Amino acid sequence: MIRLIRSPATVVLFLTWLLYAAYYLNRLNYSPVIPLIKVDLDISNAGAGVLLAFFFLSYTIFQLPAGYLGDRFGPRKTLAVGAVVSIVGNLIFSQVTGFALLAFGQLINGMGQAMGWSSAIKMVVNWFPKERRATAIGFFITCVTFGSSAGIRMSGLIGDHLGWRASFMIPPLLMLCTLVVFWCVARDNPIDKGQPGFEDEAVLEQRLPGDSWSRIRLVLTNRTLWVVALVYFCFVYVQFGCLVWIPTFLAEGYAMSVNRASVLASLVLLPGIIASPGCGFLSDHYFQGRRKPLIIIGMAVLAGACFLLGFDLNIKVVVVALAVVGLMIMVPDVLLATFPADILSRKLTATGMGFLATFTSASGIVTTPLSGKIVDMFHSYGALFFSFAVVALAGTVVALFISENTVEP
């Protein structure tokens, strides 16, 4: 057990986990302080959503280029550059006052954040054999739950005591400290650490074309990847919609303080820490590497939980339903993230993940302002959760068409 914990692969997994959790500290520091920003800047829910949409605009545009850079120059460099850019974007947001400059800060942050996900997944895939891939990714994705929970809690606490601008100054400092350790210790793959590489995808890798454009075209024309991308769009629409609006839903719908709402919102996300490695392990060992069945189950349960939240419920029932949401907004994420490596090999993991992330971030552009508009229009968070249920159900139906029997485009 001690040898496993100290193995180079485990160390790299942990440092990548730590750095990407810091990414989330600098991404989800916005949602808990929306009520404070609304008062200070005198903007509506829709206006607050538009500000976040600027983040997703650049986040979407840079996904595929960032994935290509991760494959071309290595995930370590791409992750580091992305972290620095995200730090700059947060600091800009913390210092400016005008709406246009705030939007500019969000654009810069989105650009940096776009460079994280695909390269982080590639980093994990590079260090673990295919038969342990979903399990490793499952453990890694717990950083999303931890980072989301910690980011929401930290931002709410800081915002209540020091003002909302401080919520965009302290997380960048933590990210910088994490980045220094990551850069000094982590390397792109086992060979860079003097370890043997993996031969479990040699046949698949031999089929890959040699030039960059042909490899990108291979990604863009893969039918299975397109279906997965549509499911991912629906999933992240609900996932990010929940992460952004749950704190405000609790604060305004149940008359909680920003601090208390952030505490409760962070706690209901914690079940995802169990869900992520658990579903990855089940997929690898009990479903013989199949991802589709658990994706369908996760999306269907997520739809049911969101539908339940559409009703006027006692706070205790709401907490239970939110805990189910916290569980299910992690399960499909782990499994959908394995597909680029499963069908394209390690060499195109970041590019394939960048393609998928283009769809997920595009859903973020839609969900943030549209969700705010729904709340403003119906004066109800019930309507918002009903809309999440419909989108999750649509993703469940699309997931039925995922093919796991072929690897050719």
Give the whole-angstrom CA distance, residue 216 versus residue 37.
41
User: Roughly what angle, to the nearest 10 degrees, separates helices 272-285 and 292-309?
Assistant: 150
Low-confidence ranges of the chain (pLDDT < 50): 1-4, 406-409
Half-sphere exposure at residue 402, Cβ-oriented, CA atoms within 13 angstroms: 24
Separation in Å, CA 96 to CA 137, 168, 367: 38, 11, 25
Angle at 114 between CA 108 and CA 120, to 5 degrees: 135
| Nearest to 16, CA basis, from 129, 106, 126 | 126
Tell me the domain boundaries of the chain. Answer: 7-183+219-399
**How does pLDDT run across 210-226, given as a tens digit for each residue?**
667 777 788 888 898 99
**How does pLDDT run across 59-118, given as a tens digit for each residue?**
889 998 999 899 889 999 999 999 999 999 999 999 988 888 999 999 999 999 999 999
Q: Reduce the DSSP state of residue 273 to 3 states and report it.
A: helix
Give the whole-angstrom CA distance, residue 367 versus residue 244.
9
- pLDDT at res. 1: 43
Q: Please report which residue ranges of 96-201 form alpha helices under DSSP H.
A: 99-113, 117-127, 133-162, 170-185
- pLDDT at res. 202: 56
- pLDDT at res. 364: 75
Identify the CATH class of 7-183+219-399: mainly alpha
- pLDDT at res. 5: 52
Separation in Å, CA 42 to CA 46, 293, 298, 306, 367: 12, 46, 38, 30, 22
The amino acid that residue 292 corresponds to is: K
Give the whole-angstrom CA distance, residue 206 versus residue 383.
51
